Structure 1
């Protein structure tokens, strides 16, 4: 087998399994472990994988689409599916925290048509505007320092306010969900600190994320999956991801 063919086979195995090990590859291709390490080094330089101790893992994407305004029009159907699943978890008279997230915006749009009595707490301006005039929903706004995208608030004042709450249920957005590494990430540190605090004070907390975010990363890990009640996504992940979520005790909710 030529070098290029072996490396393509390694990538096919990696994409199917999520990770590969040097020893197993060496035995499969009948070459030395040093030879496999060179293959992995070459593929890493090409930006196709990430080397780890004893092998390699899939290279997760970071698209750096930081502004909420640019994310509102992406994956619209997926977010609606997530929102329908999330709304079913809310009980009458619940206090619900919706943080800065385009999936939470989709939840707010559904709640605008809901007739239950609820208290919605949010630090996202668009959610406030959608629900402010609802006759049966009391809206509580978590103010503070306006964020870089000017779509919501975070910082010390927001954190202090959140720390005094005891929401019945919370939904937090994410840029990336890494089931294998037991992490949930976002772009901005202050946003992540707020999200972590929301999870800590809430009786139930769910991360809402489109299925594609199971293979993407932000820049700041704000929580581990095992601190959450569950993950709500729009389509069934791979078997390996499902197994990893089960190991972390995370309920997987797919509409």
Structure 2
């Protein structure tokens, strides 16, 4: 079991039990206690859980740094710049999909004042509210589970509508991006939803600010071959540019 898969499994167990010991995890996952202690330390640094004597608990309420309102304020200027670039990939009469990220929210804020006919699917409650008063935009809110500290509806419940609607472009952010893992996030429910969405759309546009490049989270929802366009707020090194070019990815900063 790879580290990412193992940590994903730990998070799933915690979301079910809320509290777990290293000894129990070792039995369930058939992994050494030393490896699991390292995993738990790594996950605590990412704000996913809290270490306890001999184990870990799922943070409740969610760490204030991970709430939607806190993330919305982080690197805001970068997100606005990325959103303005993303707007160039949206055309009249398109059907697009916005994830529930704070960067996608900035796209929604730009769209609310545009005289453009669109159908927008989103699992982001805040994004849907931003666009609701634009009569030219049809907003479809994907159903799902509302997680504590989040403004996202998560899980596979809303994916059935994608069998009835053709989506031109999906705009998605992530908690991290690496060449090896692709786009990663920490919520297993959001990862599950994003995987389903990506499999149904024509084009995937990654909207990732510079702070997330080179970092990764618990689970991958898109590998590098799934991405068509990568928009960021800063330039990247030549090695990553070459990798993008070799995989047919358009990079824009």
1:111-135 deviation digits (Å, cap 9, x = unpaired): 1121111111111110111011112
Indicate the larger mover: 99-108 or 188-197. 188-197
Q: Determine the structure 2 residue equivalent to 1:211.
A: 210
Q: 1:236 to 1:216 in 2, by over 3 A?
A: same
Distance 1:106 1:243, change over 3 A: same
> In 2, are the aligned partners of 1:162 and 1:197 still within 8 Å (CA)?
no
- Summarize the alignment of residues 1-255 of structure 1 with structure 2, pairs less than 5 Å apart: 63-64=46-47, 65-179=65-179, 181=180, 183-254=182-253
| TM-superposition CA deviations, 1:59-107 (whole Å, max 9, x none) | 9xx6435322221001111001100110110110101100110100010
Q: CA deviation at 1:246?
A: 1.7
Length-normalised TM-score, structure 2: 0.72
Q: Distance in 1 between matches of 2:193 and 2:156?
A: 9
CA distance in 2: counterparts of 1:251 and 1:96, whole angstroms:
19
**Offset at residue 187 of structure 1 (A):** 1.0
CA contact (8 A) 1:208 1:231 kept: yes
TM-score scaled by length of structure 1: 0.71
Q: Secondary structure at the match of 2:73?
A: coil
Where does the alignment leave 5 or more consecutive residues of structure 2 unmatched? 1-37, 48-64
**Cα-Cα RMSD:** 2.0
SS in structure 1 of the partner of residue 133 of structure 2? coil
Aligned partners of 2:251, 2:205: CA distance in 1, in Å? 10
SS at match of 2:149: coil
Distance 1:248 1:196 in 2: 19
**Distance of aligned partners of 1:196 and 1:164 in 2 relative to their CA distance in 1, 3 Å threshold:** farther
Deviates more, 1:134-143 or 1:245-254: 245-254
Cα distance, 1:164 vs structure 2: 4.2
Query: Is the CA contact 1:115–1:136 (under 8 Å) kept in the aligned structure 2?
Result: yes
What is the distance in 1 between the residues matched to 2:246 and 2:67? 33
Give the stretch that moved more between structures: 191-200 or 143-152: 143-152
Aligned length in residues: 195
Moved more, 152-161 or 195-204: 152-161
**How far apart, in 2, do the equivalents of 1:156 and 1:74 lie?**
28
Relative distance call for 1:146 and 1:163 in structure 2 (3 A) is: farther
Quote how far apart the aligned CAs of 1:108 are.
Answer: 0.4
CA contact 1:182–1:226 (8 Å) conserved in 2 = no
Bigger-Rg structure (1/2): 1
- Structure 1 runs (4+) deviating above 4 angstroms are none
> Which whole-Å CA distance do the structure 2 matches of 1:238 and 1:195 have between them?
27
State whether residues 79 and 234 of structure 1, in contact with CA within 8 Å, keep that contact through their aligned partners in structure 2: yes
User: In the TM superposition, what is the alpha-carbon distance from 1:188 to its structure 2 partner?
Assistant: 0.7
